[in-house]
Amino acid sequence: MKRTKFLTILIIVLFFSVSVFAQKADLRVSIYAPASAYAGQQLEKSVKVTIMNYGKSAARNFSLDLVLSKDSSIPIKFAKYSSHYSDDVLLRGGREFIRYLAPGKSINVVLNGTNTIPADTPSGYYFIGAVVDPGNKVSETSESNNVAVRRIKIGNSHSSASKLPDLGMYGFLKIGKRKRMVKWGKTIVLTPADATRFSRGYPVFEIYYSYREYNNVSSGTFKNKIFFNGKLVSQQTHLRLNAFQIKDVHTQAYLEPKNGKLEIHIDADDDVAESREDNNFHFSVNIIFKDFPEKETDRNLPDLIVKNIKLTNNCKIAVTVANIGKTGVPSYHYNLPKAVGIQMYVDGKPWGGLILKGFDPNGYLKKPYSQATYIWFPHAANLNLTAGTHTIKVIADNNKNLTEVKESNNTLTKKVYCSSNNPNSSTSSTPKSFILHFKDAYLVYEPSSKTLQIAAQRNVLSYGSDWQVVKLKSYLYHLREKFWKGFYWKVNTSRKEVYLIKGGSFGHFGGKETKLNIGVDVTGNSISPTRFFLRFHDTHLVYITSSKTLQIIEGDKILSYGTDWQKCKLKSYLFDLKQKFWKGFFWRINTSRGKVYRVKNGSLCEIGGNYTTLNIGVRISK
């Protein structure tokens, strides 16, 4: 009876706390500002600010600050006004007051002040920032999305602020040792006679192009990048142009002899604020390779095949992968970020995957004409076969990280029969698995630094080392976890939408798209954001206690395989989890109580420390 009352009270308390959490407001802000201005200029209504309330409760009586900052990291607090410049200074007349914003609504803020830039502001690049609710008057589900910034160039006079550099291509591309010219958008046929040499199985080509400044304004430093079929093959760094200056580039690139598109991006990372940003990315040529003999490009390469799939006596799956090539698999293909992946499907459904270090820990495949056998996750209770006939497909190098003799022999599909279901069982109180449900999980990407993180509860869950991102346009990105096969995500920051793409080519336009229920927030201009967030709705961490397998999943898509997590079992009901880059804390999961705690001043795998209960749901599988 007492236990029933305790559980009833616990459910009521949890329901009340979740309800209160869900009823909070959630303010987010976006800003548009001119790309240039001058010290002492009154920006007035040339700055546009929109505030959105994504929460479930109205926001009342809060402020908005417009500040000038040397960097994009602006604190969420009331800014101080001064007629003299200092970092994060409040613009003159740059504070507005909003009385009410209903849930699910947005407002274009009417800026009544002069929004004057301090007259003694030194020339250079800055950020105009909009800080919503700097006084923390509104109770929100998240306080981390209350700032938006836009880069601005400040000059010391009206004329200096009115002009920005304009970087672009000059002339046409020349390629190969014979310097054959091809116009942008056209096609060129390359033969072995155009290659300078062969290295690592690929032909090496000379590439020549020129770029210039068109607006009579010197630029800051920037990078140019060359891509072939979406892969970076060459880049030029620490570039700089004087007014109207023309510079020539001569570089080399390894090009896999498969027909495709060569693209050159000027100021590829948008390091320079320009008068035009739409003329940096439309320089490409189509390349057709002719007369490249297989023996030339395939010499001394490994070649992986899935040699056999069979069942053990207890219906576990044994997979044998062989290397039939003339050389071994290089050691760097055993570990991330260039690891070879092995992926399995059972009856058309994903059945787990792992990198070569896990499949072949003894390194047998590092030698030519060798093989390795692995029992597929022998202690994973969720990967037991049911009785009956199953179709199993295994793909070696499913992520195409390894250059091989053949790419068409990596897959084996086989039917097997399991005579009985033999799940691993236990009489102890240790659960088979537990699932942590996150209500605030998101993915954040910063284009300038190309950093990607997945976070929840204000903690980073993954630093994105196993993710790939390609920028197609200033507002259009392709994202995928590197072990995804046959699909990827497309993010449109202008429309603030995310699509699942199938039947397309990663890093290129095309494919069949399906809109996903994932929210998108941007920092800065949505056409060219400095940062964007994907707000998830169904994210959970799955932990299999027997195999210590950890995965982070959104819906049915794996976001991380948890290779950078530490795990420990203290008792049958008590588990410690720690992302390896966390400092000074870790999570403790009590499966008996169904609670997750943040532990500080304690040690992993030892009782003790200071506990804080986290708002994370826990589901147990016995």
pLDDT digits (tens, 9 = 90+) for 406-455: 888 899 999 988 874 332 233 346 889 999 999 889 999 999 999 999 99
Single-letter code of the amino acid located at 517: N
Span between the terminal Cα atoms of the chain, in Å: 23
Which CATH number is 199's domain given?
Answer: 2.60.40.10
Which residues neighbour 69 within 8 Å (Cβ) at sequence distance 6 or greater?
Answer: 87, 88, 126, 127, 129, 149
Q: Are 181 and 65 found together in one domain? A: no
- When pLDDT is cut at 50, 70 and 90, the band that residue 610 belongs to is confident
Return the H-helix or E-strand segment holding 181: strand 180-182
Residue 180 domain-assigned (yes or no): yes
361 contact partners, CB below 8 Å, separation of at least 6: none
Residues 367 and 411 in one domain: yes
Does one domain contain both 264 and 215? yes
pLDDT of residue 17: 41
Spatial contact of 506 and 478, defined as CB atoms under 8 Å apart: yes
Task: Using the structure block, give the residue that is written with the tokens 């938006």.
Answer: 148
How far is Cα 150 from Cα 68, in angstroms, rounded to an integer?
10
- End residue of a domain, out of 418, 450, 471: 418
For 211, the token pair is 């770029």
| 101-125 pLDDT tens trace | 999 899 999 888 899 999 999 988 8
**191 pLDDT tier (thresholds 50, 70, 90):** confident
Cα 467 from Cα 512, distance rounded (Å): 21
* Rg of the chain (C-alpha set): 28
Residue 425: per-residue pLDDT: 30
Short-list 216, 214, 276, 210, CA closest to 247: 210
Tell me which of 296, 326, 350 is where a domain ends: 296
**163, 50 contact by CB (below 8 A):** no
Query: Quick check: is 382 in a domain?
Result: yes
Q: Do 73 and 94 lie in a common domain?
A: yes
Residue 373 near residue 311 (C-beta atoms within 8 A): no
Angstrom distances, CA of residue 199 to CA of 191, 254, 362: 16, 8, 29
Is the overall model pTM greater than 0.75, yes or no?
Answer: no
In this structure, are 23 and 153 located in the same domain? Answer: yes
431 in any annotated domain? no
Q: Are residues 531 and 563 in the same domain?
A: no
Q: Are residues 528 and 559 in the same domain?
A: no
d(CA 354, CA 266) in angstroms, rounded, equals 37
Identify whether the C-beta of residue 472 lies closer than 8 Å to the C-beta of residue 504. Answer: no
Q: Is 4 a domain residue? A: no
| Domain stops at, among 504, 535, 566 | 535
Q: What is the dihedral sign for C-alpha 134, 136, 138, 141?
A: positive
Tell me the torsion sign for CA atoms 225, 226, 232, 236. negative
Domain shared by 16 and 127, yes or no: yes
Print the SS3 string covering 256-274: CCCCEEEEEECCCCCCCCC
Q: How many domains does the chain have?
A: 5
pLDDT at 532 over 90: yes
Q: Which range marks the domain in which residue 188 is found?
A: 167-296
Same domain for 513 and 413, yes or no, is no
Does 434 map to a domain? no
Residues 22 and 45 in one domain: yes
| Pairs from 446-455 (Cβ < 8 Å, separation ≥ 24) | 446/530, 446/531, 447/269, 447/270, 447/471, 447/477, 447/529, 447/530, 447/531, 448/269, 448/270, 448/271, 448/530, 450/269, 452/479, 454/552, 454/559, 454/560
150 and 23 housed in the same domain: yes
328 within some domain = yes
In a domain, 428, yes or no: no
With respect to residue 462, please indicate whether it lies within any of the assigned structural domains.
yes
